[in-house]
Amino acid sequence: MWRRVASLSSSISSSFLAQTASRLNTWESLTTGIAQQAKGVIAPKEKTPFITFVLGGPGSGKGTQCIKIVETFGFAHLSAGDLLRREIASKSADGAMILNTIKEGKIVPSQVTVKLIQKEMELSDNHKFLIDGFPRTEENRVSFERIIGVEPNVVLFFDCPEEEMVKRVLNRNEGRVDDNLETIKKRLTVFQALSLPVINYYSEKGKLYTIKAIGTEDEIFEQVRPIFAAFEQTVG
């Protein structure tokens, strides 16, 4: 499993390795095997995790493009929204709070969302993760870094005009409690106020890949494909 065998010897960039090594203490809580591996107890043949954050407003096409990335490049797809909806469906202790937050178009406390993502990452056999719809706030971003102990390798931003996003969401037809005009307006305000600063942060760090999210699904994927193709050799 990925959490037990994240490698210190993969051919991924040296800056990423340095970052991973410097965060060993935090990382260890998630990846107990690293310390053993560093001591040579386990043969270092497994792969370093590769994390992509998939950002964009509601209806910008994140989920649709994630399916194509999974099919083409073999990533594991973790949708923050899907994980939260699963919590609601399972009637967990946080379910009612999550439902109310989603109905209001607000953001669920980071601790809750990061724990769900962490659990999925730990259970996955994959080392390549698409984390869809996260981080949506600076609080989300900092919380992920603190709890998981790593930064993303790539951040995708699906840049879509508001008018198009509203049209798509209203036609989505998945029975979601937040796919109505009133909630969409709130979500767009939250996106502008809280999510755009996160996108700007990654732009400044040189990690952001902006996709013009209008056109057919296939046309948009042709902008996405070369980004992952360029990383394929190093990531595996």
Which residues participate in the annotated binding site? 59-64, 85, 106-108, 133-136, 140, 172, 176, 187, 215
The 173-212 contact track toward ligand CDP, x by CB under 6 A, reads: -----x--------x-------------------------
Instruction: Check residue 61 for interaction with ligand ADP (CB under 6 A).
Output: yes
Tell the smallest beta-carbon distance from residue 114 to ligand CDP (Å): 9
Alpha-carbon span 188 to 170, nearest angstrom: 13
The residue among 46 and 178 lying less far from ligand ADP, judged by its C-beta, is: 178
Q: Give how far the C-alpha of residue 96 lies from the chain's centroid of Cα atoms, to the nearest Å.
A: 24
The correct pick among 54, 55, 99, 107 for binding ligand CDP (CB under 6 A) is: 107
SS (H, E, C) the chain: CHHHHCCCCCCCCHHHHHHHHHCHHHHHHHCCHHHHHHCCCCCCCCCCCEEEEEEECCCCCHHHHHHHHHHHHCCEEEEHHHHHHHHHHCCCCCHHHHHHHHHCCCCCCHHHHHHHHHHHHHHCCCCEEEEECCCCCHHHHHHHHHHHCCCCCEEEEEECCHHHHHHHHHCCCCCCCCCCHHHHHHHHHHHHHHHHHHHHHHHHCCCEEEEECCCCHHHHHHHHHHHHHHHHHHHC
* Dihedral sign of CA atoms 170, 173, 174, 175 in order: positive
The residue among 14 and 90 lying less far from ligand CDP, judged by its C-beta, is: 90
Instruction: Check residue 58 for interaction with ligand ADP (CB under 6 A).
Output: yes
The correct pick among 140, 143, 153, 195 for binding ligand CDP (CB under 6 A) is: 140
Tell the smallest beta-carbon distance from residue 179 to ligand CDP (Å): 8
The residue among 33 and 63 lying less far from Mg ion, judged by its C-beta, is: 63
Instruction: Check residue 184 for interaction with ligand ADP (CB under 6 A).
Output: no
Instruction: Check residue 136 for interaction with ligand CDP (CB under 6 A).
Output: yes
The residue among 24 and 147 lying less far from ligand CDP, judged by its C-beta, is: 147
The one segment of 57-65, 87-95, 116-124, 209-217 that binds Mg ion by CB under 5 A: 57-65
Q: Which residues form the interface with ligand ADP (CB under 6 A)?
A: 56, 58-64, 168, 171-172, 216-217, 220
